[in-house]
Structure 1
Amino acid sequence: MTDIPKVDLFVIGGGINGAGIARDAAGRGLSVVLCEKGDLGEGTSSRSGKLVHGGLRYLEYYEFRLVREALIEREVLMNAAPHIIWPLRFTLPHSPEDRPFWFIRLGLFLYDHLGGRKKLPGTRRLNMLRDPEGAAIVDKYRRGLEYSDCWVDDARLVLINALDAKEKGATVLTRSPCISARREGGVWRLTTRDTMTGEEREFEAKMVINAAGPWVTDVINRVAGSNSKRNVRLVKGSHIIVPKFWDTHNAYLVQNTDKRVIFINPYEGDKALIGTTDISYEGNADDVKCEEDEIEYLIAACNRYFKEKLTRDDVLVSFSGVRPLFDDGKGNPSAVTRDYVFDIDETGGAPLLNIFGGKITTYRELAERGLKRISKFFPQMGPDWTEGAPMPGGDMENADFESFRNKLKQDYPWMPMSLRRHYARVYGTRIARIVGEATSVEQLGRHFGGDLYEAEARYLLREEWAKTVEDVLWRRTKHILHLSEEEQAGFAEWFEARLAEAA
């Protein structure tokens, strides 16, 4: 009989919170298993607005502490992963019918100063009729403001946290839901099942951390047979992707007539990402999808401000995610706090930490605080370490991405500029793990279209838990937005053949 592996922590949920906790705990010397029922970041964490931001609109709900902490984390994360997190300037055209100009200017003054901003430029006023950022905006909006936040590749942020956890000794299981968790003799007995192979694995853990996001209460009730007085409120946020319809490099933040704000961000070079909606959601989080009325809502918000009018035919892709917000009793989904809450159940000497709420920007801090909360159970646990530590691929001198990218021109003079940029942005300093000994494009193997070559696909299969075509084309990269249907089909045929070989 095979011995059951014994670990300190068993983390359920491979979204940003679970991956961040696994990384932090493994770096403190704890033995960790991270299990995810689907792909890493497949749920909420890859369906965000792709921003590391303080949450400007949260100031309106007096969430000053949350905004301050998020603004501080914004620069921490920029330094840790400059390849996937970078500054973005937002133009906010002022609508006289909505919030007054002085009110927005005051909010941006607080936004500039609450978090001890060091790297990012501050707010400036714009004349929308004269400044280039106003050229795409209809002439009735004469005044505007410009401020800073950061872009993030959300799916890869999850992925590199899981990679770091693995490299620090954690076991990472994807497509392996926890099907059973029971307390027995002061420890947890847990069983996972690989949904692709049917293989079941058993573990013994001193503690379970429930970071299942929208499924947190399902894990509490069905899997662990426990209970909690706390709950999450599910709020659906939908986005659309359209061809980019303005010439400058900035993003836009516009106010809608219902007081919500909509982000319109440059995406993948020639596209725009527009979102998000905020709708209470009662259904199965696995079945969430963008509805037609949400698409119409987002298009209408853009058309209120921009000279070039969007139509339904411009929408290339739509997607939705369910945010698991801590239920603080607020009626308006936009007013529900984006803060997080911990709940510890110590029944039977086998503790369970449940996590309610949270947001991408504060995930690292959430992990750090969560581990402090459980430190009494693990006196051998090491100290805090993640604040100044680079992420996999982010270990660049002075966190200077542009200097790093310029050096790649010398290291890989044979590589086309678009491919070099793709590898730099997605993999950072780990580019050599994809390129290997290649000295020409031909040596990267089969070309599937766009910037996708066989060498990258093999790396993702080998190192990053890619098990489906979507894992490669949508979450680990965004190649799907740059390949024709025929090219996607060709890649799918090749990929399935490689999976069959490995089986």
Structure 2
Amino acid sequence: MSTTSAEASSADHHCDVLVVGGGINGVGIARDLAGRGWNVVLCEQDDLASHTSSASTKLIHGGLRYLEYGEFSLVRKALAERELLLRSAPHIMWPLRFVLPHDASMRPAWMIRMGLWLYDNLAVREFLPGSSSINLRGHALGAPLNAKWSKAFVYSDGWVDDARLVVLCAMDAAERGAMILPRTRCEKLQAMPGGWLAELVNHDALTQEATHTIRVRARAVVNAGGPWAEHLLRQVMGVQPRASSSKRDAAHAHLRLVKGSHIVVPRIFNHDHAYIFQGEDRRIIFAIPYERHFTLIGTTDVEHKAAPGAVGVDPEEVMYLCQHASRYFRQAVQPGDVVWQFAGVRPLLDDASGKASAVTRDYRLEAQSFPAPWLTVWGGKLTTFRLLSEEAADLVGRQLGELRHRWTADAVLPGGQLTDLIDEAVHPDLDMTEFQSRLRRRHAWLDLGLMRRWTRAYGSRVLRLLDGVTSRADLGAEVAPDLYEIELFYLKRHEWAQTADDILWRRSKLGLHYTPEQRQAVADWLQAQSAPGRTLGFHHSGMSR
């Protein structure tokens, strides 16, 4: 059905680009476009990073195993992004060394050495150390492992707080003028002369009831729906595949949904390296230091045939990860050890690979002008989100008739500007240590544990959080251990947090450390704040109502 000019003129908001999807690719594209001066609206049906983007293995990595599948272009792109990303947000991303025990029955040592040499040299490294080999016997890195493992290789990649990365990109987009609308589902998209008319329905975070509808007129639409991208394109936008003689044509692009599950167990080892294990099925899993007291183990690769939002960890996956890890660790990992588990659906670009683990993690951007300008993101991985966003912004710029300069390669994310407190940025790890030291001297009353958590979560934005704060009394009530009202108000004001899950499992991982009663206390506080007549905020010298 066509859209009349009267309907178009009645839109609540007019913009250049509507981005649908609040995962890492959606917020990355919105950030890039807004930074180029485009008027951007982003809507997400749930909380930011509610799905795939908070359920990753939380790595900034080139993908060592992808070399075996001949994905040299993807690995090169990802390796080139590692250090750039690590510099952009040293509070939520940092270098991590990986230990790969050698299993001669899987791959010969010369093959691994060759792969690691490629990994070291496919892209420029400025501060990440190269790979090496070690004797595990008598070595601290070998102590947690079964005695059968005697030789290992060590190489560099990086770690990231994935959900916070999404939120920081959304914050940056908003501060550059974008309108960010979480819990706002795109119900309708109709092509019209000069663009699209969208109907966006906002839902209450606590009741899930629809609250109001926003009509947005956009010159172009970016479909960054992740696992929902194909549904959004075909069913909501009404764009069907066009005829083509090439199976590789973007017109035939479609998604293959692959579920990845993870388990978290009490800490298995005390050092700061991670492990990468090769399974007898030739798959690999990681065992990563996590939240000080835990070890994160994952991931699986399982075909997902259900709805994208209907995802959970199956008992068979838990057993698989436990058995896989127990093959290497001296201390067996049992299903009863699992204190938390999570799963996400990866929207992978279907390349007709047989095994789910072999499906490419590369991406494809499909841009068309019919029935009105649109761009769809197919596939992708966390590490390449900035590059994907940059390329997408270029394509959207062409659709809008104006190319604008790229800018994100040298930009920092909110909180990443540590020179707000230190003299000069030298190395991400050293800079973060110096920042924490100076903040500690400035606020000597601040508990060491809370200071470390806040600086890791907020980076230099902690200075805004502490503006005008001179003592613990200024932090407000302690709603749960080390979670004060000042932080809760900050998360509600600046990071779109509305529910206990938003705060305890995405803006932080405090839920992993709290009892059910403590988690409920946070939910009760939020419920009380949403009661009629309540205002957001409390009085102290640095933050007003």
Is TM > 0.5 for Structure 1 vs Structure 2?
yes
Q: Is the 8 A contact 2:97 2:156 kept in 1?
A: yes
1:330 equivalent to 2:353? Answer yes
In the alignment, which of 380, 391, 395 is matched to residue 373 of structure 1? 395
Question: 2: CA distance between counterparts of 1:98 and 1:377?
Answer: 49
Residue in structure 1 matched with residue 184 of structure 2 by the alignment: 176
1:17 equivalent to 2:25? Answer yes
Question: 1: CA distance between counterparts of 2:484 and 2:514?
Answer: 12
**What percent identity do the matched residue pairs reach?**
44
1:462 equivalent to 2:470? Answer no
Q: How does 1:302-317 map to 2 (within 5 A)?
A: 302-317=325-340
For structure 1, list consecutive stretches of 5 or more residues without a partner in the other structure. none
Residue in structure 2 matched with residue 63 of structure 1 by the alignment: 71
Question: 1: CA distance between counterparts of 2:117 and 2:479?
Answer: 48
Question: 2: CA distance between counterparts of 1:190 and 1:502?
Answer: 32
Residue in structure 2 matched with residue 442 of structure 1 by the alignment: 473
1:134 partner SS: coil
Question: 2: CA distance between counterparts of 1:449 and 1:109?
Answer: 48
User: How much has 1:352 moved relative to structure 2?
Assistant: 1.1
1:199 partner SS: strand
Superimposed CA distance per residue, residues 425-477 of structure 1 (whole angstroms, 9 cap, x where no aligned partner): 00000002322322122321111333211111111111111111100110001
1:443 partner SS: helix
Residue in structure 1 matched with residue 370 of structure 2 by the alignment: 347
2:352 partner SS: coil
Residue in structure 2 matched with residue 215 of structure 1 by the alignment: 228
In the alignment, which of 433, 441, 449 is matched to residue 464 of structure 2? 433
Q: Is the 8 A contact 1:237 1:322 kept in 2?
A: yes
Question: 2: CA distance between counterparts of 1:215 and 1:45?
Answer: 13
Q: After the TM superposition, which of the residue ranges 217-226 and 444-453 deviates more from structure 2?
A: 444-453
1:272 partner SS: strand
1:142 equivalent to 2:142? Answer no
The number of aligned residues is 502
Residue in structure 2 matched with residue 52 of structure 1 by the alignment: 60
1:253 equivalent to 2:253? Answer no
For structure 2, list consecutive stretches of 5 or more residues without a partner in the other structure. 1-8, 205-209, 242-251, 420-424, 537-545
Q: Is the 8 A contact 1:450 1:479 kept in 2?
A: no
1:391 equivalent to 2:413? Answer yes
Superimposed CA distance per residue, residues 227-249 of structure 1 (whole angstroms, 9 cap, x where no aligned partner): 23210100000000010111211
In the alignment, which of 130, 140, 146 is matched to residue 122 of structure 1? 130
In the alignment, which of 81, 103, 118 is matched to residue 95 of structure 1? 103
**Matched letter for residue 123 of structure 1:** S
User: How much has 1:406 moved relative to structure 2?
Assistant: 1.4
Q: Is the 8 A contact 2:480 2:521 kept in 1?
A: no
**Matched letter for residue 249 of structure 1:** D
Question: 1: CA distance between counterparts of 2:465 and 2:432?
Answer: 19
Question: 2: CA distance between counterparts of 1:38 and 1:425?
Answer: 25
1:269 partner SS: coil
Superimposed CA distance per residue, residues 359-403 of structure 1 (whole angstroms, 9 cap, x where no aligned partner): 010000001011222322234453000000010000123242122
Question: 1: CA distance between counterparts of 2:464 and 2:445?
Answer: 17
Question: 2: CA distance between counterparts of 1:478 and 1:319?
Answer: 12
Question: 1: CA distance between counterparts of 2:211 and 2:239?
Answer: 26
1:172 partner SS: strand
Q: Is the 8 A contact 1:451 1:479 kept in 2?
A: no
Superimposed CA distance per residue, residues 155-195 of structure 1 (whole angstroms, 9 cap, x where no aligned partner): 00000000000000000000001000010123200010011
**Matched letter for residue 269 of structure 2:** W
Question: 1: CA distance between counterparts of 2:481 and 2:121?
Answer: 42
Question: 2: CA distance between counterparts of 1:145 and 1:361?
Answer: 23
Q: Is the 8 A contact 1:30 1:381 kept in 2?
A: no
Q: Is the 8 A contact 2:479 2:525 kept in 1?
A: no
Superimposed CA distance per residue, residues 237-289 of structure 1 (whole angstroms, 9 cap, x where no aligned partner): 00000101112111111101100111000000010110000111111110100
1:488 equivalent to 2:496? Answer no
Q: Is the 8 A contact 1:29 1:381 kept in 2?
A: no
1:318 partner SS: strand
Question: 1: CA distance between counterparts of 2:386 and 2:481?
Answer: 34
**What's the TM-score once normalised by structure 2's chain length?**
0.90
Q: Is the 8 A contact 1:27 1:165 kept in 2?
A: yes
1:34 partner SS: strand
Question: 1: CA distance between counterparts of 2:334 and 2:350?
Answer: 36
1:357 equivalent to 2:383? Answer no
